Amino acid sequence: MGQQLQIKAGWLQGIRQVPTCRYGSRPQPLEISLIVIHGISLPPGSFGGPYIDALFTHTLDPKAHPYFAGIADLEVSTHLLIRRDGSITQYVSFLDRAWHAGRSAYKGQAECNDYSVGIELEGTDTEAYTKAQYQSLKAVIAALRAEYPDIGSRIAGHCEVAPLRKTDPGPAFDWSWIDRASLP
């Protein structure tokens, strides 16, 4: 991802967009001040295929895989997905609340979905993410910071905002690609 990404009216330009009905309104006044990084693979440990899109758009067939019976009716979504090849899909406008973090808190502020952008990386806690994913993630973060400067250095893993429930993006995620400490 060598180009600079732009955001217009809450949508990242030049990427695949698959709008979902699974989102809500953000509280007003609008505050976007956190990025939450997740990891996902469907079925677990498998990459590619239509299942992540289907989960986030409420079209996942519970009979397509035994694992799906337990998750097909979950009301979940995310703002962005970055696939293993670095391609990006957006499901929810940044101006709206995606349902990615669940019950969560960051630095004492509860309900992260209200003020965060959720970014899913196709992967698992234990398998290394790809260089293409990190490059796309860096470009996305730069665009989000430019549009929503309150984000600054506020970037967390799902495991940090919901530590009793979640482990992603997991130990395989290389935080050195994301310099959280030196950002404004």
Please state, in angstroms and rounded to a whole number, the distance separating the CA atoms of residues 81 and 16. Answer: 10
From the list 36, 54, 49, the residue with the least C-alpha distance to 173 is 36
What are the angstrom distances between the C-alpha of 133 and each of 1, 13, 26, 121, 178?
Answer: 9, 18, 28, 7, 12
Q: Are strands 105-106 and 109-110 parallel, antiparallel or unpaired?
A: antiparallel
Catalytic residue list: 120
Q: Which two tokens mark 81?
A: 């997905």
